[in-house]
Amino acid sequence: MPTRSLRSRGRLARSFYDRPTLEVARDLLGKVLVHGVGTRLASGLIVEVEAYIGEADPACHASPGPTRRNAPLYGEPGIAYVYLNYGIHCLMNVVTERAGTPAAVLIRALEPLEGLALMRRRRTRGVPDVALCRGPGNLAQALAITLRQNHADLCHSSLTVEDHGHGIGRIAWTPRIGIRVGTERPWRAYVVGSKAVSGHQQRAMSNER
């Protein structure tokens, strides 16, 4: 079968990312994160995200002000911010808001859609399919997202987010997890009921929106 063009697959435009971060975070749920082309393509439905907003957010990497490391956060909306965590895991963020305003959305979990065989090969042997992209480090490994993808333009590269018209159910908002500061802000959002969501779902603070 012929390869569909990137455009026909529903790639999100830059204007999608150039909005308030919490709106982008909410609207990313139900979209599809894609990396690679042809036989190397893997993708999954986004079901869990976290927002990191501005230098005033103590958990945001921009909190110390501009540095070499967090430069992507200050860049154009729609680029990727990928960094190495604990020396082991690559975590992928989508940069939001206008250049100069540091903010991003961390992608935390996907429901695998395409490239299942690739993902199984890249992840630890024996992982159930539903857990292939559960957790930010795991999904990066499944989609082969590494530091090489840092600063990649989601609007013009093989790493991108697409709208495939998937419908989702209720969205729940909770405090972000895995951080030691900024835990009071309810900036984690996930699709209620998705088996691919990481962490504990029962800490929801509100489930409307």
| Chain residues in the site for DNA (CB under 7 A) | 50, 52, 59-61, 64, 67-70, 73, 81, 84-89, 91, 93, 104, 106, 123-124, 127, 135-138, 176-180, 198
Cβ proximity to DNA: between 84 and 204 the closer is 84
| Separation between Cα atoms, residue 203 and residue 57, nearest integer Å | 21
State in angstroms the smallest separation of the CB of 39 from DNA.
24
Q: Coil, helix or strand for 111?
A: strand
Least gap, CB of 126 to DNA (angstroms): 8
| Residue closer to DNA, measured from CB, 60 or 191 | 60
Lookup: tokens for 198: 């990481």
Q: How far is the CB of 105 from DNA (least distance, A)?
A: 8
| CB of 32 or CB of 91, closer to DNA | 91
Q: Using CB atoms within 10 A of its CB, is residue 184 exposed (0-12), middle (13-18) or buried (19+)? A: exposed
Neighbours of 31 (CB within 10 A): 23
Between CA 194 and CA 45 the distance in angstroms is 10
Backbone phi and psi for residue 33, each to the nearest 5 degrees, phi listed first: -85, 130
Please name which of 4, 42, 31 lies closest in space to residue 138, comparing C-alpha atoms. Answer: 42
- If DSSP codes are grouped into helix, strand and coil, which group holds residue 85? strand
Q: In the complex, what is the shortest distance from the CB of residue 68 to DNA, in angstroms, rounded to a whole number? A: 4
The total of other beta-carbon atoms located within 10 Å of residue 108's CB is 29
For residue 61, give the amino acid letter. H
Q: Compare residues 168 and 179 and give the one whose CB is closer to DNA.
A: 179
Tell me the closest approach of the beta carbon of residue 176 to DNA, in angstroms: 7
- Cβ atoms 28, 161 nearer than 8 A: yes
Closer CB to DNA, residue 96 or residue 160?
Answer: 96
Cβ at position 178, least distance to DNA in Å: 2
89 or 166: CB nearest DNA = 89
